[in-house]
A and B are shown apart, each in its own frame.
Chain A
Amino acid sequence: MSSILNNNWNNPRQREIKTAMANGAYASLKKVFNMQPVEVTEEVKKSGLRGRGGAGFLTGMKWGFIPKNSKKTVYLINNFDESEPGTFKDRAIVEKDPHRMLEGMIIAAYAIGARTAYIYIRGEYYRQWEILEKAIAEACREGFLGKNILRSGFDLDIYQHRGAGAYICGEETALLSSLEGGRGYPRIKPPFPAIEGAWRCPTIVNNVETLSNLPFIMNNGAAAYRKFGTEKSPGTKLISASGHVNKPGVYEVEMGLPVRTFVEEHLGGVWKGRKLKGVVPGGSSFQVLTAEETSKCCLDFESCAGCGTSLGSGGFYVMDETTCMVKMLQYTAKFYEHESCGQCTPCREGTGWVSQIVRRIEEGHGRQRDLDLLIDVSKNMVNGRTICVFADALALPVISYVTKFRAEFEEHIKLGRCSLQNG
Chain B
Amino acid sequence: MNFTFTPENKKKFDEYVKRYPQKRAALLPALWLAQEQNGWISGEVMEYLAGLLEVTPAFVYETVTFYTMYNKKPIGKHHIQVCNSVCCWLRGSEQTVDYLKRKLGVNVGESTADGRFHLSTVECLGSCGSAPMMQIDNDYFENLDEEKIDQILNELNTE
Binds A, one of B1-9, B108-116, B127-135, B150-158: B127-135
Contacting pair A88 B63 (CB below 8 A): no
Within 8 A of B (CB), among A173-214: 178-184, 199
Q: A85-B87, A181-B26, A249-B129 are in contact. Are A199 and B21 (CB under 8 A)?
A: yes
A contact residues around B70 at 8 Å (CB): 164
Checking A83, A181, A335 against B86 with a beta-carbon cut-off of 8 angstroms, the contacting residue is A335
**Given A86-B87, A243-B87, CB of A181 within 8 Å of CB of B63:** yes
In the complex, what residues of B have CB within 8 A of residue A122's CB?
Answer: 126
7 A-B pairs besides A241-B129, A334-B123 with CB distance below 8 A are A83-B126, A126-B138, A164-B70, A180-B25, A240-B129, A242-B91, A243-B87
Which A residues lie within 8 Å of B86 (CB)?
85-86, 284, 317, 328, 331-332, 335
Q: Can you list 17 A-B contacts with CB-CB less than 8 angstroms, sorted by A residue number?
A: A88-B126, A88-B128, A123-B67, A123-B69, A127-B138, A163-B67, A165-B68, A165-B69, A165-B122, A180-B25, A181-B27, A181-B53, A199-B25, A244-B90, A284-B124, A317-B128, A332-B86
- Residues on B facing A (Cβ under 8 Å): 19, 21-22, 24-29, 31-32, 53, 55, 59, 62-63, 66-70, 85-87, 89-91, 122-131, 135, 138-140
Contact B67 A166 (CB under 8 A): yes
- CB atoms of B25 and A181 under 8 A apart: yes
What residue of chain A has the Cβ atom nearest to residue B70's Cβ? Answer: A164
Residues on B with C-beta less than 8 A from A165 are 67-69, 122
Which residues of A are interface residues toward B (Cβ below 8 A)?
A: 73, 82-88, 91, 122-127, 159, 161-167, 178-184, 199, 240-244, 248-250, 284, 315, 317, 319, 323, 327-328, 331-332, 334-335, 338-339, 341
Residue from A161, A199, A242 in contact with B87 in the complex, judged by beta carbons closer than 8 Å: A242
A164→B126 contact, CB < 8 A: no
What residue of chain B has the Cβ atom nearest to residue A337's Cβ?
B123
Q: Which of B22, B53, B128, B139 contacts A127 (CB 8 A)?
A: B139
Contact of A162 among B25, B32, B55, B66 (CB under 8 A): B32
Q: Is the CB of A124 within 8 A of B135?
A: yes
A327 to B135 alpha-carbon distance, docked (Å): 24
Known: A85-B128, A127-B139, A315-B128. A335 touches B28 (CB 8 A): no
Inter-chain contact B87/A178, CB cutoff 8 Å = no
Q: Which residue of A lies closest to B127 (CB)?
A: A88
How far is B67's CA from A338's CA once the two chains are assembled, in angstroms?
A: 11
**Chain B residues in 8 Å Cβ range of A323:** 90
Distance in angstroms from A154 CB to nearest chain B CB is 19
Closest to A166 in B: B67
Please give me the 9 A-B residue pairs with the lowest Cβ-Cβ distance, nearest first. A164-B67, A242-B128, A165-B68, A165-B69, A181-B27, A248-B129, A126-B138, A183-B66, A164-B69
Given contacts A85-B85, A124-B125, A242-B87, whether A182 and B62 have CB atoms under 8 Å apart is: yes
Cβ-defined contact, A124 with B126, below 8 A: yes
Assembled-state Cα–Cα distance A73/B20 (Å): 12
| A98, chain B: closest CB distance, angstroms | 16
Contacts of A339 in B (CB 8 A): 123
Q: How far is the CA of A338 from the CA of B120 in the complex (A)?
A: 14
Taking CB atoms, residues of chain A closer than 8 Å to B90 are 242-244, 317, 319, 323
Of A125, A180, A249, A341, which one neighbours B24 at CB under 8 angstroms? A180
Q: Which residues of B contact A82 (CB under 8 A)?
A: 126
Q: Is the CB of B29 within 8 A of A199?
A: no
B91-A182 in contact (CB<8A): no
Contact (A242, B24) CB under 8 Å given A161-B29, A182-B62, A317-B86: no
